[in-house]
Amino acid sequence: MTSRSGASPRLLLRRLAAARRAAATGSADRTPTPGRGGPPPLGAERRSGGSGGSPPRTNTARDLLTLHVMQRSRRFLGPAAGLLTALLLVLLLQGNGFVSTLVVDMLVYAIVAMALDFLGGYAGLISLGQAGFLGVGAYGVAIAEVHFFSPWAAVGIALAVTLGLGLALGIVAVRVKGVSFVIITLAMGQVLWGLSYQWVGLSEGDNGITVSVLPTIGPIDLNDPLTLRMTVLVVFALVALLLVTFTKSPFGLSLRGVRSNEARLAALGYRTGLHRYLAWIIAVFFTGVAGVLYVFVNQLISPTTMDFSANGLFVIMAVLGGLGSIWGPALGAVVIVLFQQELSIYVSRWQTLMGLTLIAVVLLSPGGFWGLLRAAGRRWDAAIARRQRDLETAP
């Protein structure tokens, strides 16, 4: 993913040909093959001149090929892994059993974790109220559908309400940073949870609202479980790709600048408050999208979905997976859902295990799971660079 593209294949082929020519004519005798230990005895070096210098030559050719393979695989490993994951997800979602339910849950939570990461990992604003906005999206659909409208209109209304609430609350939230931001978002999440609990006339309180009829448009009927699961997958992929695109844009770069040194950024002509506000709105909106999917998948929304521990769980997903990577928190969501729904069957103290895992990851890899992958990628880059240097010094 770095700018290091290495030598082009054509250049490599040309070098390979040159190496072969050189080997054929046996012109050069100085081929200090790297990593051969200490210098050979002087006499031996002298005598070999001109006669048969071919073994190191073939070595160089093989080295070039190895380098080429390493560079290629470095470049294509990411996309290949992505494609394989997508394929795997499609396959897993085919069945009607437990596994597909688990995967759908993972995908919905992953959207929230990624949105949280966009705000926290890039702009440095960790939100502890994200479950509240998940609830707004979900309740928005449920209330609109039960009381007033068609399912599709309900989706539009839910998203509009989430966006509007994000726009309004953002004016307050984005005024503060650091711990104050954590606290203020926590307060917002708790207020939203409180509303869902106590505004019985609208939210039906403790019981929650069930949504039985899902939207249908043309051939896409969300009441069909498979269609619904595939829709969740598509929406997840869209959100993930959008967020990744955003992080690579000048705006994404500006968010990293905000986190790194906001005063400096302001002195460079950036209206940093606006950038934080936009990041907030993006994060809240996508969380609302996850909320809509949540209520379709579960066909029920109740206050427990947005209680305090849910907020904490999303932050844990993001931190465990690796803040500032988008894909990492998605991975974190996978792990946490596994803990919560699989491990809890066998181990009653699954939360203790989750806590220990979190401590281990934070201590051993501050960048989370994704940090480990990134470190591996950097090592690979370094290995490629080393080989390239070796080959260049030994023409």
Partner 1 sequence: MTPAQASTEPALAAEHLSRRFRGVTAVADVSLRVPAGARFGIIGPNGAGKTTLFNLLSGELRPSAGRVALFGRDVTRLRPYHRAALGLGRTFQVTRVFSDLTVLENLTLALHGLHRSKLSLFRPWRSYRGLTAEAAEFAGRFGLASRLSAVAAELSHGEVRELEVLLALALKPRVLLLDEPAAGLSPAERVDIQALLAALPPELTLVMIEHDIDLLRTVVDSAAVLHLGALVVQGPIREIQDDERVRELYLGRGAA
**Footprint on this chain of partner 1 (rule: CB under 8 A):** 2-4, 245-246, 248-254, 256-257, 260-261, 263-272, 274-275, 278
Query: To the nearest whole angstrom, how small is the minimum distance from the Cβ of residue 124 to partner 1?
Result: 10
Query: To the nearest whole angstrom, how small is the minimum distance from the Cβ of residue 32 to partner 1?
Result: 25
**b/e string for 308-332 if b means 16 or more Cβ within 10 A?**
eebbebbbbbbbbbbbbbbbbbbbb
Q: Are the C-beta atoms of 280 and 166 separated by less than 8 Å?
A: yes
Phi, psi of 201 (to 5 degrees): -55, -35
Query: To the nearest whole angstrom, how small is the minimum distance from the Cβ of residue 376 to partner 1?
Result: 18
248 vs 349, which CB is nearer to partner 1? 248
Name residues whose C-beta falls within 8 Å of residue 108's C-beta, 6 or more positions apart in sequence: 232, 236, 290, 293, 294, 297
228 vs 243, which CB is nearer to partner 1? 243
282 vs 331, which CB is nearer to partner 1? 282
Query: To the nearest whole angstrom, how small is the minimum distance from the Cβ of residue 276 to partner 1?
Result: 13
Dig out the tokens for 315 from the structure: 């932050």
8 vs 260, which CB is nearer to partner 1? 260
Query: To the nearest whole angstrom, how small is the minimum distance from the Cβ of residue 116 to partner 1?
Result: 18
234 vs 274, which CB is nearer to partner 1? 274
Query: To the nearest whole angstrom, how small is the minimum distance from the Cβ of residue 261 to partner 1?
Result: 5
Q: Are the C-beta atoms of 141 and 289 separated by less than 8 Å?
A: no
Q: Are the C-beta atoms of 125 and 258 separated by less than 8 Å?
A: no
Q: Are the C-beta atoms of 162 and 288 separated by less than 8 Å?
A: yes
Name residues whose C-beta falls within 8 Å of residue 289's C-beta, 6 or more positions apart in sequence: 111, 137, 159, 235, 239
231 vs 247, which CB is nearer to partner 1? 247
